[in-house]
Each structure stands twice: as structure tokens, then as C-alpha cells.
Structure 1
Amino acid sequence: MRLMLAVALLTSMGGVSMAEGNRIDIQRPDAPELAAPGDFDIGVRTLELVHADQPDVLGGGTYDRPLTVEVWYPADLAGGTPGGDYTDVQMANSDLKVTLHGQAVRDAAPLAADGPYPLVILSHGFPGNRFLISHFGENLASKGYVVASIDHFESTYENQLGFASTLANRSPDQLFVLDEMARAGDFLAGMVDGDNSAIIGYSMGGYGAVLSAGAGLAEAAGQMGMASPEALAGLMAGSDAYAAARDPRLKAVVAVAPWGGHLGLWDDTGLAGIDIPLLMIGGSVDEVSDYENGIRRIYEGAVNADRSMLTFQGAGHNAGAPMPPPEEATAGGPGSPFEHYADFVWDNARMNNIAQHFVTAFLDLHLKGDADKAAYLELDGGTWNAPAGDRTWKGFGERTTRGLVFEHLSAE
């Protein structure tokens, strides 16, 4: 029923790129197989966490760092309970707050009987908020995951402050939320399998995810003037502080358009520190993270990781992760709300569905041990069907792999 509703909504939209009705759960008719929602009903709650006594990168001294977290989880619902709204969501590059719609039911009872479930952390870009990549939250929760999406303090639409804070705090925020979720009680009791955790990070969230995965910063990162050497000291490859912060419960990472590789924030030694499975997603003309010199450099440099890379040919920085632009984002031009979310070539819902497919296969394989999902990732370019030149990939319909490249490299 959930899938049929989403498809019907898209059909009524006529395939436009704007998210009419501001839905985060769109399933296009051409969506690949594993994009479809799973069998679980979805609940959602908002948590207010505090990371106490953290270095105040912008103001000096220390402070208690507040982190609002949206949590999606398998829910125990009576059949047919309708999904609710996400109200007062700040829209990018605007003073407007909008309402989003999806399948999750606010404060629904958790389905602990089938738990615990693997944990996935979502980490937005700069600026952003916990709803920017919320389509992953609902989609994965319906498949038996607990998903926690972070509002990174000093890095949101409402609270965008100095960039140094984002550089210093992204990975610590991610690992703090992993730890808090893994030991959480209350409504999450019996729900979270923290020993099987993953991070999905977009842009600066991807930067943090690469750090959390084991790629400590190069010494040169502290000399670039974006943050003081002291602020980044605990993130430096080879430092005792960085080694102590690694969390063995983190079993896989998805980095979408990760920022920083093109500037040399990591050297070869740092990237070689990643030894857990890595899925990279990017657009071939990313104008922010630099596809060739940044995103691909991370992919190729993580030589000790089993890694895959999905490329949307012709797409820019917004490939795969951001939800469709809210219908209120009608203004165009540089810096507009619309361009914050949208791509110039690809439809957001189309990219979201493709990303959901590959992320599902990747996480099911590495967090749930579902060996059957390996076939969705072992594509080797696919089978070519002459004369049309279309590739045949498991889970994709005829002609629906056009514009996509999927690669794999084994750990050395």
C-alpha cells in the first residue's frame, strides 16, 4: 500500500521536478527494485541531545553542544494508520518554514519485538538540517533500520555560523550520536543494534563520514586558514586523540559528494586509514566537491577499503542526496532555494530512488549480512544490449541505467 500510494502521487504530478505536496517518499515508476519501501511501518520522534563540555571553536573555552536529532524506526501500528507531517521545517536560503509529508507516524510505538535493528546516522551539508536527506530516513526505517538524522549545531539554515565549527565538529557529532543512540533506553530500549552502525553523509556530512571511517586529516589541513591547528588537532591522522576516537561499531560508510578531497585535506596515508566498506556517490560535474580531484581521489585513495562508486553523469553537487525542492522553492538563480536542492540535469526523486536502491543493497550486505544483496553491487559495468547500448543491471528496468556508472575496487 505504501509503494502504491507513492507511485500514484508521482503519476498525478506528471513527473515534474518539484515535489508537489512536499513529499519525501516519492517512488517513481522507473525506480530500481530496492528503492521500494520495506514491510515495516515507520515511526518518528525528535530527540534533544547535548554533547557536554566540548571545545568552543568559534568562541573559545568549552560549551555544551546541543544536537537535535530526528529518529525514524520500525513501528507497531494498526493497519492503515496514515503518515503524518513534518511541520515548521526551515527551507534553505529563505525565511520560509514549510511542511513536508511522508509515511512516518509521529511518536508511534516502536516495534521492539523484531529488534534490535542496525543503526544509520544521517549527516547533512553546510548549511542544511536534519530533513535535507530525510528520504533515506523513512526508506531505511521501513526496511528494518533505526535512522538518526542530526541537526549539526552552528551548521544549519537557522544557525549557520563560522565554517571552522563545521570542520572541527562533523565527525565528533556523528560519533557522539552513534554512541548516544547505541546506549539509549526509553522508547529505544531493545531497538538499536549499535554494534552494526553506518553513517550516510552528504557534502560536509560526507567530509565527516570520511573522517569517521578512518581517514585522519593531513598536517596541511591545519595550515589552510579555515580552522586553527588547535581546532583540528584531534582529527589529524596518526594522532593519539584521533586514534582514540575511532569507533569499531561503525561497520560501513556512505559518502555522497564528500567535500575536502580536492583541497588536500587528506593525503595518501590518511585515506589509507579507511578499512571498512565504503560507498561513494557523486555527480560527474560536481562544482563544489570537484568530482575528478576530490570525490574520485577519495574513492581511489581508500586503498584498504572494499569500495564502490556510483556516478550520475552530468549531475552536479546535488546528486542523490537532497530531497526534492519544496514547492515553495519557486525562485531561480544562483543561491536560490530551488538551486540549493535541485540539479540542472537530473530529477531529484529519480536520483533519490537510485541512491535508495544502492544504499539498501550496501547496508543490507554489510550491516545485516544479507549475502543475496551482493549481486546488486557486483555489476562490473553490466551487460551491454546492442544496438541500443543499454546496460542490464540487477534490479533495474530496461533503459533505466542510462547516465549511470557503477564501479568497484577491492581492498589491496
Structure 2
Amino acid sequence: MATRTFFARLLVLLLASSPLVGCGDDDSANNAQPNNAKQDVGGDTGQPDAGADASADVLEDAADPDLGAAQPLFEPGPFEVGYREIEVTYDPAGDVTERTLPVKVWYPAAADSGAAPASYAVGGIVEVEPELALDAPPASPDGPFPVTIYSHGSGGEGLLAYPYGELFASWGWVVAAPNHVGNTALDAIGNSSASFAANTLNRVTDITAVLDALETGPGDEALDGLSDLEQVFLFGHSFGAYTTLAVGGADIDFDALQAGCSSYGDGSCEFLAQAEVETTFRDGFGDARVDAIGPQAPALVPLFKDGELAAIDVATMLQSGRLDATTTQDEQAVPAWNGLDNPNDIWVEMPRGAHFSFITICTDLTPDLLDVFRPDATEDGCGEEFIDTTVAVPTLRAYLLGFAQWQVLGESAWATVISDDLVDGFVVTTR
């Protein structure tokens, strides 16, 4: 226990110099905003406005019945929420014989179980109080349930999905969020981070492995047989958005990745030289079980081959912040939107949103701890000039939930609801 506490404290110090995401550059990105972008209530021009979107006003709006048909998306569904942690093990491509992933799972629970509240500790040190989740109650007997998978950003962890996981599970979804081992916060502690190229591959095969485990049964009495793999939604943040697009069906330009491998300086060239690795990349990562995707603040968009985003068969809800300094709007989100080509695609933008507007570290960490844990966050989502994450995250997850209910479950009534600006501070673009 003493060793764990030491490493947990050390984590905070080490992560100050560990980037949360790797991103690519694209000098040819189209900087223009789409012509059919709906304007928010304040008539936003795309530039930050210190007087617009005051957090208190938006919070009041988000809780106001005037949201009309969108109001249910901001509220828990009919199910109690269970939370469990499992492991998934599989054989990855390359010279590693076995890969074991810790996976956080939220699920619809049996009513009146009497279970205690779940316990969250981000990075093993930052305790976060759950809103809905209970500690390992029995599953609801009403399953099987549709599945949502979350892919965290580089240097993050699956637990960061908890605001999304709780809401989705309360609506009747099984939500699984793996730790992408080799690309998590804890890997910085043990100097065990994998190479960039390895993470680019392992992340996508992690998602398929988790889907396989849910389909066959992960060996947990509550979760075995609980998932309906005919109904799957996938979303992810930053490097996790890259993962989402790849598993959604967009192929990587392996030749370009290999040509630039020496610039990574981390063993990527040696990893890519393995025949099995090259074959896996060239075969593509698309998983036909995925019915819709939701990339947030996408990274590495230039890594996809020309035309690959348009080849994604399923609908996409792209979410981005115009003030993102890590995966910038012009280099990542704009090319992603321009590349996608499904008639049901939706782009949700936050004019005052930035990279850390999609997760809750701005509020989960004290200002002093945030300054150590993620010193750049105040300049990329956690400062006063940005949308409050207590507004951003509930609204982002409401959009994702409505999109998943529509595209995965076929509840078409949500299409009109989520095609509009639900609260001030958001701009929605449709095809």
C-alpha cells in the first residue's frame, strides 16, 4: 500500500511533462467554416467573446424545462447504474505475446440492490465522487443491452469516461472504457510507455478485443451475456478520436507512417518493421460491429489515407472546440469534417471550447493540483475564457446520447432534437 501511494503521488509530478495527445500537422487544412453551420443564440462568429456564454446562464439553461424535447438527454434514464472493473487479455500483433487491459464498465443495474456508491480514483490518487454509479450491484434482468465503448486520450485512462458512462448506463447501455496500456498516465510512472507507432496500432486492436470479450463473456457474473453486440456505439477523445475513426473504418496511410518513423525517436521504426505489424496495418482496422461513432477533439487526422474518412460507412458525430490548442480546429477538426461524407453526420462545435473541455479534470482537480498535473490545461480549456466544463461535458454527452439512440437504436425522433443548438455556446452543423 505504501508503494502504491508513493507511485500515485509520483504520477502527478511526472505527468506535468507527459503530453496527453500526439497530433499530426496538416498545412493544407481548409480553414473555412462550413456554410451550413447554424449560429448559436449569441450570434457567434467563431472568435471568443468574453461576454458570451456565461457559465451560470448556461447552467441555468441546461437545467431549464425550456429545453423541451432535449431535456431528457440531460437527465438520468430509468436504470440504476452499476460499476465494475475487469480485465481483458489478448494476443496483439508484433513481438508481444500477451496484452492485458484494465477495463472500466458501467451497466444497467438491478433496482434496489442496496449496493454502496462506487469509488473512483483518477490516476490512483484523485478521488472523484460518482453521481449515479453503485459498487458492483447485480445487473438488470432486462438485458441484453446495447454497447458503448470509450477510447481515452494519450496519457489518460478509461475512468475519464465516467460522466458519459453513468448517463449512458442509466439509459440502458453497457459502457466499457479500456486503459490503453502503454499509453496511460500510469505508464509515465514506470517508464513503460510504448512507442508512438505501437500505440497507433494497439489502441485500435484494444477496442476490437474489448468487443470480443463482451460478445463471448468477460468472465464476470454480472456482465456475461449482458451485451448486445448487434448495437454498438464508439466514441473517444483526442488520440481516442483517432482510434474511433480507425475502428469506424478509416485506413491508416502505413507508408506515410513508416516514412516518418525516425522522427518519433522511440523505437517506432523497429516496431513497424515487423511483418505481422505491417500486415495488420494494411489489412485495416474497421470493425463491422460498430454502428456509429463520436470522435471528440480528433488527433492525427492527416494519418488517414486520402478518401478514407469518406469511406466510413457509419454515421459520425464530430465534436470539437474552436479554441483547441493541442489538436487545433484548422489542422484536425476541419479536415475531418471535410473528409467525412455520410448524410447523417453531425458536427457539434464549442466556440469557446478547447482540448480539455471534453473531460472533467478542470473541476476534478484543485487549481494547485491541476497546475502540477496538467499545467497547460489552464491555456487549453480550464481558464476563465473557456466554456465551463460543468456545462460542456453534460451537453456533449447529451448530444452523443441522442445520436447513439438515433443511429444505433433507430429512435429517429432524436434526429431533429440533436440537429439544433441545445444550449447557448454550441454550434451544430448538419449535411
Tell me how far apart the structure 1 counterparts of residues 375 and 63 of structure 2 sit (CA, whole Å). 27
Residue 316 in 1 paired to residue 345 in 2?
no
Q: What's the CA shift string for 1:275-321, capped at 9, x where partnerless?
A: 10101000012112121221121121022463111000032212334
1:222 aligned partner, one-letter code = Q
Q: Report if the CA contact (8 A) 1:134-1:323 is conserved.
A: no
Deviation at 1:230, TM superposition (A): 3.6
Match of 1:217 in 2: 252
Tell me how far apart the structure 1 counterparts of residues 112 and 205 of structure 2 sit (CA, whole Å). 38
Match of 2:213 in 1: 180
User: Paired residue for 2:110, among 64, 67, 76?
Assistant: 76
Tell me how far apart the structure 2 counterparts of residues 55 and 377 of structure 1 sit (CA, whole Å). 39
| 1:56-205 correspondence runs (5 A) | 61-78=95-112, 83-86=117-120, 88-90=121-123, 96-112=125-141, 114-160=142-188, 161=193, 162-184=195-217, 186-205=221-240
2:203 aligned partner, one-letter code = R
Residue 258 in 1 paired to residue 298 in 2?
yes
Tell me how far apart the structure 1 counterparts of residues 205 and 343 of structure 2 sit (CA, whole Å). 22
User: Paired residue for 2:336, among 292, 298, 302?
Assistant: 298
Deviation at 1:325, TM superposition (A): 3.2
Question: CA 1:362 to 1:147, structure 2 compared with 1: closer, same or farther past 3 Å?
Answer: same
Deviation at 1:327, TM superposition (A): 3.9
Q: What is the aligned length?
A: 350
Deviation at 1:79, TM superposition (A): 7.3
2:251 aligned partner, one-letter code = G
Higher relative contact order (CA 8 A, sep 6+): 2
Q: What's the CA shift string for 1:181-209, capped at 9, x where partnerless?
A: 12216322332111111111101111101
Tell me how far apart the structure 2 counterparts of residues 368 and 272 of structure 1 sit (CA, whole Å). 23
Match of 1:404 in 2: 426
Tell me how far apart the structure 2 counterparts of residues 163 and 315 of structure 1 sit (CA, whole Å). 27
Deviation at 1:334, TM superposition (A): 8.1
SS at match of 2:358: coil
Match of 1:10 in 2: none
Tell me how far apart the structure 2 counterparts of residues 157 and 206 of structure 1 sit (CA, whole Å). 18
Q: What's the CA shift string for 1:216-252, capped at 9, x where partnerless?
A: 012312222243344663464xx3x22xx53211101
Deviation at 1:80, TM superposition (A): 7.3
Deviation at 1:374, TM superposition (A): 1.2
Residue 374 in 1 paired to residue 374 in 2?
no
SS at match of 2:182: coil
Tell me how far apart the structure 1 counterparts of residues 273 and 236 of structure 2 sit (CA, whole Å). 25
Q: Report if the CA contact (8 A) 2:82-2:109 is conserved.
A: yes
SS at match of 2:222: helix
Tell me how far apart the structure 1 counterparts of residues 186 and 375 of structure 2 sit (CA, whole Å). 14
**Percent identical across equivalent pairs?**
24
Q: What's the CA shift string for 1:54-101, capped at 9, x where partnerless?
A: 245xxxx22211100011110013177653322x4316xxxx443443
Deviation at 1:363, TM superposition (A): 0.4
Residue 350 in 1 paired to residue 383 in 2?
no
Deviation at 1:378, TM superposition (A): 3.2
Q: What's the CA shift string for 1:359-390, capped at 9, x where partnerless?
A: 111000111111111111333xxxxxxxxxxx
SS at match of 2:312: coil
2:256 aligned partner, one-letter code = A
Match of 2:7 in 1: none
TM-score, normalised with respect to structure 1: 0.77
| Bigger fraction of residues in strand | 1
1:197 aligned partner, one-letter code = V
Q: What runs of 5+ residues in structure 2 fail to find an aligned partner?
A: 1-54
2:204 aligned partner, one-letter code = S
| 1:316-335 correspondence runs (5 A) | 316-322=354-360, 324-331=362-369, 333=371
Tell me how far apart the structure 1 counterparts of residues 216 and 119 of structure 2 sit (CA, whole Å). 28
Q: Report if the CA contact (8 A) 1:82-1:105 is conserved.
A: yes
Deviation at 1:342, TM superposition (A): 4.5
SS at match of 1:353: helix
Q: Report if the CA contact (8 A) 1:329-1:337 is conserved.
A: no
Q: Report if the CA contact (8 A) 1:119-1:197 is conserved.
A: yes
Residue 248 in 1 paired to residue 288 in 2?
yes
Q: Report if the CA contact (8 A) 1:133-1:323 is conserved.
A: no
Question: CA 1:80 to 1:323, structure 2 compared with 1: closer, same or farther past 3 Å?
Answer: farther
Tell me how far apart the structure 2 counterparts of residues 131 and 200 of structure 1 sit (CA, whole Å). 14
SS at match of 2:199: helix
Residue 282 in 1 paired to residue 320 in 2?
yes
Q: What runs of 5+ residues in structure 1 fail to find an aligned partner?
A: 1-14, 17-26, 380-392
SS at match of 1:376: helix
Q: Report if the CA contact (8 A) 2:93-2:280 is conserved.
A: no
